[in-house]
A = this chain, B = another copy of it.
Amino acid sequence: MTSRQNRTRDRAERGIPEATVARLPVYLRALHALQDRGVATVSSEELAAAAGVNSAKLRKDLSHLGSYGTRGVGYEVEYLVYQISRELGLTQDWVVAIIGVGNLGRALAGYGGFASRGFRVAGLLDADESVIGQEISGMTVEHIDRLEEIIAERGVSIVVIATPAAAAQTVCDRVVAAGVTSVLNFAPVVLTVPEGVDVRKVDLSIELQILAFHEQRKAGGPDGYDPMAGGVSGNGRASGYVEAVEA
């Protein structure tokens, strides 16, 4: 490896695989749990078990950050926590605003996992007059009209969209126009953004649908009993689906 590319910088080639990045937070959580239990060093086998992956994968992943382990011994927990935190950018604070304080927005506002990872919620915004001014998790809900102002003044760099589906794209456009380039979207729509803006999506119902797919498969055991064969046409086509408002 490292065939072409200047090899002045040794360890972490600029460019950690996406799959690895997605697992680093999981390792980090497992490491924090070990830290709480007073564990000082851990082997790839143990840490992998705690994170729910196999040890080869864990070692490959960590090797992308550098050589932070000791052969014959394992990894020093505290040191690894620091290295992963730094790599993920968690040694600095990130200012977050949450748009939409329905049930989901409230849940997010009160979610302890944010603050403990260096994410500071600096604004809760909504369009509904009846919730403006309400106190939620120690913060006062502000009017969406002040979106641009709040982003600029408080240095918001990540925005969480928890609005109804219909409002999400409009809110996203305004947020992007205000200079934000990282968006976490909980609304069940595909957001269109310009080049250079990152959108990640969490969709509650997609996960359930994937589970349903696998659950359906289990019924038929191996060697293909065709699930629903026959009964299907009696059921009529897509039986009056209605796209509800969701979120």
Residue numbers of A with Cβ under 8 A of B are 9, 14, 21-22, 24-26, 28-30, 32-33, 35-36, 50-52, 78-79, 81-82, 85-92, 94, 96, 102-104, 106-108, 110-119, 157-158, 160, 181-184, 188-190, 192, 196, 198, 200, 202-216, 218, 224, 227-228, 232, 235, 237-239, 241-247
Contact = CB atoms under 8 A, between A and B. Distances in A.
Contacts of A104: 107, 111
B117 A208 contact: yes
A91 B235 contact: yes
A117 B209 contact: yes
A205 B239 CA distance: 37
Given A86-B232, A212-B158, A215-B182, A111 B204 contact: yes
Nearest to A105: B107
Contacts of A160: 208
B238 A78 contact: yes
Contacts of A103: 103, 106-107, 110-111
Given A35-B243, A52-B192, 19 more contacts: A14-B224, A21-B210, A29-B243, A32-B241, A33-B243, A50-B190, A51-B190, A78-B238, A86-B232, A88-B209, A91-B232, A94-B208, A113-B247, A114-B204, A116-B242, A117-B205, A118-B212, A119-B208, A158-B211
Contacts of A238: 78, 81-82, 85, 91
Q: Which 5 A-B pairs have the closest CB atoms?
A: A89-B216, A103-B107, A113-B205, A116-B244, A52-B190
Given A50-B190, A112-B244, A224-B9, A89 B33 contact: no
A184 to B, nearest CB: 6
Nearest to A160: B208
